[in-house]
Amino acid sequence: MTIPDAFLSGKLVDQNGLPPLTAIFTVLIERDSQGQRGFVRVQGDHMFRPDGTFTSPPLLPGRYFLRFFGELQGSPASGQGKAADRQRRVFDFIYPNADTVSEAQPFDLRAGETMSSVFDVPEPTWFNIVGRVKSNLPVEDRNRISILFQRNMEILPDVGASGFSVRIDGSFEGMLLRGSYVASLHEMTDPEPNGYTRSLRQFGSTVVTIEQDTLNLELSMQ
């Protein structure tokens, strides 16, 4: 007996009813992955159409979650060329506005069902982070030290990390979305031709929760 495919579809809009400048969506389902029980991606990440609409790949009946990640359109007065202004337009949430899958609203699909809706992007809230790493680093070139913040969204494998350079006195600053993070300290390579760097080694990590502007964050790595 063939089970008819099910689908999730819809349109993603901002508070003005406009589609995002660019966006991807991820369908998540709970299952075992490499010996761990967690929420995994169904066939990877998928792009939205330019008008903000999307359709999932064919799905079996079951319980699913949707993660949305992208950048909102900017207004002429917002200074679209400034990196900080662009960053504040970046959103990353699990429907309807959750930081982790366990806090999110599921979609229970039946065989052959297409569930469609208009999805609103909540206004992204970025927090300013200023801190200091309290560690003695056995590294001669302190200019290559970075701190990476890996956001815990309960997705396997983990989502990407935000990285900030650590100054010679151990201080750093940047911007993060609300959520729980694993902060880890790394010695990085020199920039490659594409501009990216890679981690040579990790010195330690700690868990931190960001819920507001944090201007005196002190981290002890273990």
Among the listed residues 207, 200, 146, the one whose alpha carbon sits nearest the alpha carbon of residue 171: 146
Q: What is the pLDDT of residue 82?
A: 76
Same domain, 146 and 172: yes
C-alpha to C-alpha distance for 66 and 48, rounded to whole angstroms: 13
Q: What is the pLDDT of residue 144?
A: 85
b/e map of 115-144 (b: 16 or more CB within 10 Å)? beeeeebeebebbebebbbebeeeeeeeeb
Same domain, 66 and 138: no
User: Last residue of some domain: 76, 97, 120?
Assistant: 120
Q: β-strand 90-94 against 145-151: which pairing, if any?
A: unpaired
- Cα-based distances in Å from 128 to 145, 174, 178: 20, 6, 11
C-alpha to C-alpha distance for 79 and 179, rounded to whole angstroms: 27
The tokens describing 48, both together, are 């939205």
Q: How many domains does the chain have?
A: 2
Nearest 5°: the CA angle 23, 120, 154 is: 65
Same domain, 112 and 169: no
Q: How many residues does the chain have?
A: 222
Q: What pTM value is reported for the model?
A: 0.90
- Scan for tokens 């970046």, then name that residue: 90
Largest Cα span, the chain: 66
C-alpha to C-alpha distance for 159 and 141, rounded to whole angstroms: 29
Q: What is the pLDDT of residue 33?
A: 85
Same domain, 146 and 203: yes
Name the residue range of residue 201's domain: 126-219
C-alpha to C-alpha distance for 209 and 160, rounded to whole angstroms: 17
Q: What is the pLDDT of residue 55?
A: 98
List Cβ neighbours of 195 (8 Å cut-off, separation of 6 or more): none
User: Last residue of some domain: 120, 140, 161?
Assistant: 120
Residue 46 domain-assigned (yes or no)? yes
Residue 60 domain-assigned (yes or no)? yes
The tokens describing 79, both together, are 């200074």
Same domain, 116 and 130: no
Same domain, 103 and 201: no
Residue 214 domain-assigned (yes or no)? yes
Residue 1 domain-assigned (yes or no)? no
- Going through the chain in order, the beta strands assigned E by DSSP cover 7-13, 22-33, 36-47, 53-55, 62-71, 90-94, 107-109, 114-120, 126-133, 145-151, 155-156, 161-165, 171-177, 179-188, 199-210, 214-219
Same domain, 63 and 111: yes
Q: What is the pLDDT of residue 99?
A: 96
Residue 155 domain-assigned (yes or no)? yes
What's 69's domain CATH number? Answer: 2.60.40.1120
Same domain, 135 and 82: no
Q: Mean pLDDT, 10 residues at a time, over the chain (222 residues)?
A: 91 97 98 90 96 98 98 72 83 97 97 98 95 76 85 92 91 95 92 88 92 89 71
